Amino acid sequence: MIRRPSRMNQSSNQDASLVGLANIRSISAYFKNQKSGIVWLLIPLVSSLLMSCATPPLDPGLTGPFHKIANYYLVNQKLPDEIRRIAILPLTASQNNQAATAGLEMLQPILYAELSKARLFEVVMVPANRLEQWTGKPSWTQDEQLPADSLIRVKEETGCDAILFNQLTVYRPYPPLAIGWRLLLVKTDGQVIWSLDEVFDAGEPTVANSARRHALGTDRKNAEFTYQTGTGSGALFSSRVPGWEWLNSPRFFAGYTVSAAVKTLTAK
């Protein structure tokens, strides 16, 4: 004879099972909450550790401080709209400055290139032999008094609206590099439009940072160009030290200095 459990026993067994299941669920939920709490506590710690290990110090070419040119003059703080073409006279240096004289041949085309690259006006280079034919001398400095009829002759021959006198005052072609410029832009009637007298010394941290910033911008433009034209990898940052050439090569550093000087023509 098989004895079946009474209904009372069945009910008590079911209640016990439900209580046990509820306890198991509550315990599971407790541990889950504890684990999630620990995970949330660990996330900031792990993130900070990863950032401290993976993030390199920012390049001073991005953070500064940067060099500011103060010794310049710009008429009405704006390049006149009528200046659409300028004539560049041959680059000069003082007779006693043998170092600067040695740099004239290399820096003259860099001056021309950076002025043209700015696209503020059309640039015409006046050869020394032509200038001698027109004025009687192959070169003129801003300290010399160029006769009014010579200014008019240069205007007639080149179609320029203004004439740029330029002088290399400092030239140190070894690190820390240093280049000094004296620039004078005058209208053909003798009115001064722009003048600048500045020495860029790479031994000064602000100058070095500005040269690095210029290098980073130039590298980025070159990388974008090579990517768009398919002539290179187009990587924005290479494995070499950013700005190394601009602080060790007189040619590259000169490009930065002229670019910085020309930017004062658009200063607000």
DSSP H helices, the chain, are 7-54, 60-63, 98-118, 128-135, 148-158, 205-229, 244-248, 250-262
Tokens, residue 101: 């004289």
Q: Which domain holds residue 122?
A: 68-201+250-266
Please check the confidence at residue 124 and state whether its pLDDT lies above 60: yes
What percent of the chain lies above the pLDDT cut of 70?
A: 69
Is residue 154 domain-resident? yes
Please check the confidence at residue 105 and state whether its pLDDT lies above 90: yes
Cα separation, 171 vs 157, whole angstroms:
32
Is residue 135 domain-resident? yes
- pLDDT of res. 168: 97
pLDDT band at 119 (very low <50, low <70, confident <90, very high): very high
- pLDDT of res. 51: 56
Please check the confidence at residue 255 and state whether its pLDDT lies above 80: yes
Is residue 132 domain-resident? yes
- CATH assignment at residue 167: 3.40.50
pLDDT band at 39 (very low <50, low <70, confident <90, very high): very low
Is residue 152 domain-resident? yes
Is residue 195 domain-resident? yes
What percent of the chain lies above the pLDDT cut of 90?
A: 59
Burial class of residue 212, CB neighbours in 10 A (0-12, 13-18, 19+): buried
State how many domains the chain has: 1
- pLDDT of res. 125: 97
Long-range contacts of 236-240 (CB under 8 A, 24+ apart): none
Q: What is the mean pLDDT of the chain?
A: 80
| Range with lowest mean pLDDT among 35-44, 158-167, 239-248, 255-264 | 35-44
- pLDDT of res. 210: 94
> If you write DSSP's letter for every residue of 159-211 in order, what string do you get?
--SEEEEEEEEEEE-SSSPEEEEEEEEEETTS-EEEEEEEEEETTSHHHHHHH
| Range with lowest mean pLDDT among 22-26, 48-52, 96-100 | 22-26
Is residue 95 domain-resident? yes
Is residue 60 domain-resident? no
pLDDT band at 158 (very low <50, low <70, confident <90, very high): very high
Whether the bond into 65 is cis, omega within 30 of 0: yes
53-102: pLDDT as tens digits: 555 567 777 888 999 999 999 999 999 999 999 999 999 998 889 999 99
Choose from 3-12, 52-61, 150-159 the range with maximum mean pLDDT: 150-159
| Range with lowest mean pLDDT among 8-12, 32-36, 150-154, 157-161 | 8-12
Cα separation, 135 vs 150, whole angstroms:
5
198-252: pLDDT as tens digits: 999 999 999 999 999 998 887 555 444 343 444 444 344 443 455 677 789 999 9
Indicate the pTM of the whole model.
Answer: 0.73
- pLDDT of res. 50: 56
Is residue 197 domain-resident? yes
Residue 53 — φ and ψ, nearest 5°? -85, -35
